[in-house]
Amino acid sequence: MPPAGAVHVLIVEDNADLAFGLRRTLEAQGHQVAVASTGTEALQLAQQRPPTLIILDLMIPAPDGYAVLTRLRDLGATMPVLILSARSEEADKVRGFRAGADDYVTKPFGVLELVERVNALLRRSAAAAPPAVPDGEGQRVGAIILDEAGRRAWRDGVPVSFAPLEFALLLAFIRQPGVALSRASLLRDVWGHAPDIQTRTVDLHIAELRRKIEPVPAHPRHIVTVFKTGYRFDP
């Protein structure tokens, strides 16, 4: 049996050489690693032993990575998922985040950056574990009511599903109302990334948050763009 608190990573990748390299790299970091080469195998392994984190390729034999991620989230899986894909179009990234991904790395990638992103997701996931008892009746943000302790949300009385890092990003904003937050500070505080890592992950997550909480996402009133700076939350 693995020791209590051990990190178990599931790699879903049909390129055997790449999967082997990733496995060796993560095992060198002290993580336990399992590998799946198809969507069906990934779903079976994830349900037999829920991983702490999943690294997921999109172009795997059926079902593909999008379908695997959607299925896992529908089943209530909350572990962080990092998509690793050669598909670099913004539409692919948006689709991945909407399915419930927490980060997206395009191939080819740097091993050190990948390890940093994995460790950042693990730190964030550990820090975000909710207390056993929810706190109060929740906080209202426009039409959204947030139960921060229980990590739940409702819009006009209907449950809203947030990916773990989407919820963490929203909390970062509502805890600092009226303050302009830079992308670098959000990467550091929410994702745990070093500020020199360049990514559009923040912008894509902002777009998803707006889609879920703004009355008119194209004309946001709560998460406002601050020119040449980043974003500001207006209650």
Closest CA to 170 of 200, 137, 148: 148
| Confidence band, pLDDT 50/70/90 cuts, at residue 131 | very low
**pLDDT tens column, 106-128:** 998 888 889 999 998 988 877 65
Long-range interactions of 64-69: CB distance < 8 A, separation 24+: 64/39, 65/12, 65/39, 65/96, 66/95, 66/96, 66/99, 67/39, 68/12, 68/39, 68/42, 68/43, 69/96, 69/99, 69/100, 69/101
**pLDDT tens column, 140-169:** 777 778 888 777 788 777 788 888 888 889
What ranges do the domains of the chain cover? Answer: 8-127, 139-233
Average pLDDT over residues 131-142: 55
Range 8-127 has CATH code 3.40.50.300: no
| Confidence band, pLDDT 50/70/90 cuts, at residue 235 | confident
Dihedral angle over CA of 189, 192, 196, 198, nearest 10: -90
| Confidence band, pLDDT 50/70/90 cuts, at residue 132 | very low
Q: Is 139-233 in the same CATH topology as 8-127?
A: no
**pLDDT tens column, 53-62:** 999 999 999 8
What is the residue type of 54? I
| Confidence band, pLDDT 50/70/90 cuts, at residue 189 | confident
Name the class of domain 139-233: mainly alpha
